[in-house]
Amino acid sequence: MGYGCYERDGRDCGYGVPAKCDHPDCSEDIDRGLGYVCGGSNHNEEGCWRFFCGKHANEDHHENEEIYGLCERCANDEPPFDPSPDTQEWIDHKMIDPTWDLWRSENPEYVKANAASLLNT
């Protein structure tokens, strides 16, 4: 299994998934790869599994020097930010790319909910 695209807790993740920073006051373009995940690793239990640009994955928040890249909420033991929605680019990709044919056939609710967005592209 690679880390280009996978699902975790119902959310598409991986370096192949274009995204926006999960900080509510930011719209920086990132991806949902391990380089942007809160805590900096998929094996780290400290992070919230939200994804942040360099500005919001503050490396100096945590007193434990082995834990880096925690978001401000995790660093202060607060509940995580709400995740940002999928980008239109990612939705469109899942809706039209042939490699997602099987997935679309298994997820008709998603297809129905997002079919109208294709008319705007």
Please tell me the distance from the alpha carbon of residue 46 to that of residue 118, in angstroms, as a whole number: 38
Q: In sequence order, what are the beta bridge partners of 37?
A: 51
pTM: 0.84
Residue 55: φ, ψ to 5°:
-65, -30
pLDDT digits (tens, 9 = 90+) for 65-94: 445 578 889 888 899 999 999 999 999 999
pLDDT digits (tens, 9 = 90+) for 14-32: 999 999 999 999 999 999 9
Could you count the other beta carbons within 10 Å of the beta carbon of residue 6? 15
- Annotated domain spans of the chain: 1-84, 87-121
